[in-house]
Each structure stands twice: as C-alpha cells, then as structure tokens.
Amino acid sequence: MSETKTHRIGIIMNGVTGRMGTNQHLMRSLVPIIQQGGVKIGEREFIMPDPILVGRNPVKLEKLRRLSGLEKTSVNLEPLLADPDYPVYFDAQTTDRRCADVMRAIKAGKHVYCEKPIALTCEQAMQMQRAAETAGVKTGVVQDKLWLPGFRKLKRLIDSGCLGRIHSVRGEFGYWVFEGDGAPPQRPSWNYRAEDGGGMALDMLPHWRYLLDNLFGEVKALCCSTRTHVAQRWDESGNPYQCTADDAAYATFELENQIIAQFNSSWATRVRRDDLLTVLVDGDGGSAVAGLRKVWMQPAGATPRAVWNPDIEQPLDFYQQWLEVPDTEPEENAFKAQWELFLRHLVDDTPFRWTLLEGAKGVQLAELAYQSHKQRGWVEVPVLQ
C-alpha cells in the first residue's frame, strides 16, 4: 500500500478574531477541514491547512486559541510575511485595513485569499489585482453566497431552463440592527462610520454583484439611492456616536439579456418574508423564490388566476401555491466549500475564477452606487480588465 501524501499549507490568518473571521472562516471552515483530515485530492493524498492566528489583541487571540484548539498565534504580521513556511495570506480585517496588508503580502510573494469588499475604492482594488498579476501569485476573494444551498438550487433551476426567459429579479435583504442603547447591536459600530470603511452599499453591493453576474448576467448599469435612516447608535463601550455611513441602499440594475434586477438592502427594516435575504426571479416559464437554504417555484402551467378585487377578503393563499424545491445533494457550509476549492487551486491548479478581479468588480459597483446617489441618476458599469 502506498504511503499517504499530505500537502501542508501554512496560512496567515489576519483579523481572525473578528466575527466573520472567527465564526465562518475559522470555526466553520478551517477547523472542520483539519478535523476531517484535510481536503482529499487523491486516493491517499490530502491538503492540510496549517493556520497561524494573527490579531492586534493578545487576549482575544488567547481566547480564540483555546476555542479552536489551534496552538499558533501572533500579534506581529511582519515576520510571518517573510516566513516561507506560510505561503498563504488570508485577510478578514476591517475593510479600511485590508488593501495595505494584502499589498504587503503580495509584495512578499504570498498567495492571497481575502474577505470582501477588498478595498475602499475601485482604484485600490485594481492596484491589488495588477500587483498580484505582476507577482505571479494566486488570489481568491470570498463570494460565499454562491455556495449557499438556496442559491445552488436556484442556479440548477435556471440552468435546467424551467424558468424560461428570465426578465426580472427582485432581492430583499436586511433586518433591524438594534441601536445599542437598550438591546445590544448585532453588528459592530464601525459598520456605521464611513471614515472606518462602513456603509451598506460598500458592504452588500459586492455580494449582489457576484450573485447577479454568476446567476443571471453581467451588470451593465445601475441607479441607486442610499440613506442613513438611524442617525445615532451606541458603540461597544456604550458610548453614543453619530452614524456617518449609509444603513440602507435601494438599487436597480440593468443586466445583459435585458434583465432588470432590484435589490433593497437595509439594517433599519423589520422582517416579514421567508428569510433575511430572499430573491424572487420571474421568467416566462415560471418563477422562483430563493432564501439562504430553501427555494420555492411556481411553473407557468400551475400559475393561478389572480384577480384584483379590493372589495373582498383575498380568497387565495399565495404561499400555498408554490412548490418547494427538494434537496438533491448534501450541502456544506458555504465558506468551507469555497475554502476547499481555493486550497485545491493552490495545490492542483484547479480552476478558480473568484479572484481579486472579481472582488474589484464588487468594489466598483459600490463606488458607482454612491456616484449614482450623488448624481441622482443612472450610471454605466465599465468593464474592468
């Protein structure tokens, strides 16, 4: 019997003490990959991630070390960038810190995998992309919603052709984020300060960009209005502060193939829908509604005749007229699924199209959304290359 071959991949995990870094990337992605024995790429061949946890707060790092069962931590990034035992740099810091440290990692010859938005401006994002091309390093940007069960099912419906020619997409995202003077807020305070990289459009339009581009067609133009609905919030220390970033964005997109998409995004709304994010797709062959995990559809042949009559109680139960799309395959955590693909890309050079260029497209869309708001009109979305 041949010996087992293991490819050890040292990963610098910078900013992993934050909410996303801890929960999604460490505890629900890399720790389970390690516990399952790595990523299998052959009969007796595996990729084993070997992360070192990096952050500015040693107390948080120690707590995370105990929680994860991993031993290696550091509060000093610089020597790790010079260490050949760690060929991969991952960044889950706040947005305003990401560009500078990713650029340092690229210049040090590290492969890069990072959260989005990858930068504060499109110009910065493209500088990162060009630097990576020049350095010859591999890159990846987290685009997690593509691997959520709901959107994988929706993609299968679209690819099967059962929705026919799609003409419109409507997305609703958001929930009420508590201000912090009573109930504790569900999101960090920097999200609501523009000077710290906060803002709904900068946070969520990169998500809508990759969803639209990958499921329906490339975004060609947009019109967006942003708002700061809640003017004052309370930070993690209980101190009041004025919100300088938008907490809602209302956008309409023109896609290729004449598709119109609309996305309402708000941290100042209360939920009365199937999930915190729902996407309704209408086509001449049928319609579908996707949440994070579930999908319902209504084919054209089973569409009831709705009649407008405001003078009587509505006789139709519209929710009961939709069919739930069944699960057909086991679903992994979306972040873990993309991590495994990126690790395969590093070792086996398998295709991985979700690069820094794709991340730059998301930043571009957010930047153009703010431009549209300022101009109060439509703006074209140029092709990035």
How much of the chain is in helix, strand and coil states, percent to nearest 5? Answer: 35, 25, 35
d(CA 87, CA 89): 7
Burial class (CB in 10 A: 0-12, 13-18, 19+), 252: middle
Which residue type is seen at 263? Answer: F
Residue 1: pLDDT above 60?
Answer: no
Structure tokens at 137: 């390093």
* Phi and psi based region of residue 376 (left: phi greater than 0; alpha: psi -120 to 50; beta: remaining): left
DSSP state of 307: -
232 strand-pairing partners: 242
Fold of 147-328+364-379: Dihydrodipicolinate Reductase; domain 2 (3.30.360)
What integer pLDDT is reported at residue 385 of this predicted model?
A: 81
pLDDT, one tens digit per residue, over 32-64 is 999 999 999 999 999 999 999 999 999 999 999
DSSP state of 376: T
Whole-number mean pLDDT of the chain? 96
Thinking of the domain 5-144+334-354, which architecture would CATH place it in? 3-Layer(aba) Sandwich (3.40)
d(CA 66, CA 307): 61
Crossing angle for the helix pair 149-160 and 200-215, to the nearest 10 degrees: 40
Structure tokens at 184: 């504790």
Structure tokens at 109: 């010859």
d(CA 18, CA 21): 5
d(CA 343, CA 335): 12
Structure tokens at 153: 């099912």
pLDDT, one tens digit per residue, over 21-32 is 999 999 999 999
The rounded Cα 261 to chain-centroid distance in angstroms is: 18
Read off the pLDDT band of 368 (50, 70, 90).
Answer: very high
d(CA 187, CA 205): 17
Helices (H) and strands (E) in the chain, counts: 10, 18
pLDDT, one tens digit per residue, over 7-18 is 999 999 999 999
What integer pLDDT is reported at residue 366 of this predicted model?
A: 98
Give domain limits for the chain.
Answer: 5-144+334-354, 147-328+364-379
204 strand-pairing partners: none
The closest of 10, 55, 12 to 34, measured between CA atoms, is 10
The rounded Cα 295 to chain-centroid distance in angstroms is: 19
* Phi and psi based region of residue 193 (left: phi greater than 0; alpha: psi -120 to 50; beta: remaining): beta
d(CA 26, CA 4): 25
* Average pLDDT for 120-142: 98
pLDDT, one tens digit per residue, over 154-211 is 999 999 999 999 999 999 999 999 999 989 999 999 999 999 999 999 999 999 999 9
d(CA 271, CA 95): 27
What integer pLDDT is reported at residue 329 of this predicted model?
A: 83
Judging by DSSP bridges, how do beta strands 277-283 and 166-174 pair with one another? antiparallel
Read off the pLDDT band of 331 (50, 70, 90).
Answer: confident
Q: Which residues of 269-297 are buried (b: 16+ CB within 10 A; e: fewer)?
A: beeeebbebbbbbbbeebbbbbbeebbbb
Crossing angle for the helix pair 200-215 and 356-375, to the nearest 10 degrees: 120
Structure tokens at 46: 């595996």
Query: Same fold for the domain at 5-144+334-354 and the one at 147-328+364-379?
Result: no
CA dihedral sign of residues 17, 19, 23, 26: negative
